[in-house]
Chain A
Amino acid sequence: MTVSANRATALPQRAGLGLKPEHYETILVTRPDVGFFEVHAENYMGAGGPPHRYLEAVADLYPLSLHGVGLSIGASRDLDKEHLKRLRVLIDRYRPQSFSEHLAWSTHDTGFLNDLLPLPYTAETLARVIDHVDETQQWLGRQMLLENPSTYLLFSESTIDEVDFLAAIANRTGCGLLLDVNNVMVSAVNHRLDPIAYIDRFPVELVGEIHLAGYDETVDYVGDRLLIDAHGSAVRTDVVELYRHTLSRSGPLPTLIEWDNDVPDFATLNAEAVRADAVLTAAAVARGATRAA
């Protein structure tokens, strides 16, 4: 496997899959040729039992990406030190090749809200998120990747473009970025933006991992298309095309297929990885041809 030295990840430039309990046995018995597996950190914060037993076995065989969904980095309130400790324990135990979290918030005074909620992009919120990323990287003793969100609404107080906001965080904290191409499509359609232009402005040299997923579609109050980041289906064709365009800028990058709801059988899920691997291979070949010319 080839890994660029300057990338914010040690994952291979291959397609990876979310590790689901219903696939544990199949993976360990058939040992499919998958680039890496990714887990939601919070699902492995129990004290013991089969989840840890299976994760240890899978992590012995494949590179591992640890993806947090509960740190609430985009919250106004302080980060939860207990949660940072839980993450540190997991990282020390499993030594994942990548750790990532979201530009979003999920915890407030009322408790954990179990969703990735949007925040306005202002000088004040930028300073807060920079502090939180700094603190996270210090606690975990490693670089993290920060993921661009999918959003359904905007804030009138926002003064900073999302790509500039993410780039500023990465520049100030040294974190890498996780580019969720499906999120780009969802947010671009929802906010009447050009997804290609978003990708073309994105600092792809800071990207350590790509996410792909399937969206659902509905309409908003005035009848405009509204895409929902559903993670319950195959990656849509327009997202695959946007992914192809992304790789033409970035070169091959570790790419995760996210399919978290209505999880299909392993063969169906793996077919998504095979499709992404083909796009990765084509991107690597094109890059080689460009270099040779």
Chain B
Amino acid sequence: MTMGFNESQSAFAAALLDPGLPLPQGITTARGVTDPLRFAVYRNNVYVGLTTALGQRFPVTKRLVGSEFFAGMARTYAADHKPATPLIIHYGDDFPDFIAAFPPAASLAYLPDVARIEVAWTRAYHAADRLPLDVAKIAAVPPERIAEMSLVPHPSAGLVRSDFPAGTIWSAHQGEAVAPVTEWRAEAVLVVRPAMHVEIRFLPPGDAAFAACLLEGTTLGTAAQKAFAAAPDFDFGSALIGLVGLGAFSAFEAFEGKLP
């Protein structure tokens, strides 16, 4: 009795992913041996391929925990998280959430946020190309209409708000030598690629609250209220011009979608 093609491929895939399962039926060698080492080459390829891809997408996370710890953490993630598509460039979007719930990494509370910066960085890198909104266009809007406007996020824009100096830690690990982190405080970073280079910019708390709202599509008025609540010294004009100048938006929409 032989299995059908689909059935045998299912059995092969299952044994590939679960080392606890017996080797699939029907595999052999020129000597007629059922060879666990040969099947292990495939098992190993699957995990090495996926963990290598994660290592390339999360180089700072890997550096922070060391190659050995990272390999174990990535392998545990890969066991339950297979790429949904063959687009390995997008693999690991939810790796930061996994790290946050991974008990052996619990002592490094900032680690998930550093990984979130790395997700935002690679998303920005591969995002659609678009010209950022010109600051002059904002300046041309009548002041009384500003609060009703909302902004279209640039395809590359991402915001990571952390209770830790995640941005400083990320930046400190970009070169060969690691710069010391002198001040331990909450940080927010905007990740954006207005042209060909991904940029990481630190935002003060009010601007971060403002940007978070705008990237979700709220009106400028609503975003400003949240920003003032987060930081009484929030400066609406400089925050708006600053974020637009960084390339965080690609267009604006006036009230009811019509320009004044």
Partners in one complex: yes
Contact pattern, B 11-38, Cβ under 8 Å of A = 1, otherwise 0? 0111011000000001111110101111
CA distance A193 to B38 in the complex (A): 17
Return the contact of A226 from the options B38, B82, B84 (Cβ within 8 A): B38
Interface residues of A in 20-79 (CB under 8 A from B): 42-43, 45-53, 69-72, 75-77
Does B105 sit within 8 A of A, measured CB to CB? Answer: no
* Contacts known (A113-B16, A155-B27, A157-B2); A75 close to B9, Cβ less than 8 A: yes
Q: Given known contacts A115-B42, A156-B26, is B129 in contact with A109 (CB within 8 Å)?
A: no
Contact between chains at B45 and A115 (CB < 8 Å): yes
Name the distance in Å between A271's Cβ and chain B's nearest Cβ.
25
Chain B interface, number of residues (Cβ within 8 angstroms): 51
Whether A112 pairs with B38 at a CB distance below 8 angstroms is: no
A220 to B83, Cβ gap below 8 A? no
Q: Is the CB of B85 within 8 A of A114?
A: no
On chain B, the residues within 8 Å of A217 by CB distance are none
User: Chain B interface: which of A120-128, A166-174, A278-286?
Assistant: A120-128
Instruction: Tell me which of A48, A111, A226 contacts B83 (CB under 8 A).
Output: A111
Interface assignment of A236: CB less than 8 Å from any CB of chain B: no
Chain A nearest CB, measured from B144 CB (Å): 37
**Chain B 226-260 interface 0/1 with A at a Cβ cutoff of 8 Å (1 = within):** 00000000000000000000000000000000000
Q: Interface 1/0s, chain B 93-119, versus A by CB < 8 A?
A: 000000000000000000000000000
Residues of A within 8 A of B13 (CB): 108-110, 113
| CA–CA, A262 and B89, complex, Å | 18
B153, CB-defined interface residue at 8 Å? no
Question: A107 to nearest B CB, angstroms?
Answer: 7
Q: Which residues of A contact B126 (CB under 8 A)?
A: 46-49, 51
A104 to chain B, nearest CB (A): 11
A105 to B12, CA, bound (A): 11
How far, in whole Å, are A192 and B132 apart by their CA atoms in the complex?
60
| Contact in complex: A50, B196 (CB < 8 Å) | yes
**A224 interface residue per 8 A CB criterion:** yes
The answer, yes or no, to whether A228 is at the interface (CB within 8 Å) is yes
- Mark the stretch among B46-54, B158-166, B174-182 that contacts chain A: B46-54
Q: Is A266 among interface residues, defined by CB-CB distance under 8 A? A: no
Measured between C-beta atoms, what is the minimum distance from A71 to chain B in Å?
Answer: 8
Contact of A224 among B31, B50, B82, B129 (CB under 8 A): B31
The answer to the question of A94 belonging to the interface, with a C-beta cut-off of 8 Å to chain B, is no
Give the chain B neighbours of A122 by CB distance below 8 A. 5
Q: Which of A48, A111, A112 contacts B129 (CB 8 A)?
A: A48
Known contacts A49-B196, A190-B30; 9 additional CB pairs below 8 A are A42-B89, A46-B126, A50-B125, A115-B46, A156-B26, A191-B29, A192-B31, A220-B37, A220-B38
A positions within 8 Å CB-CB of B: 42-43, 45-53, 69-72, 75-77, 80, 82-83, 86, 105-115, 117, 119-120, 122, 124-125, 128, 152-157, 190-193, 220-222, 224, 226, 228
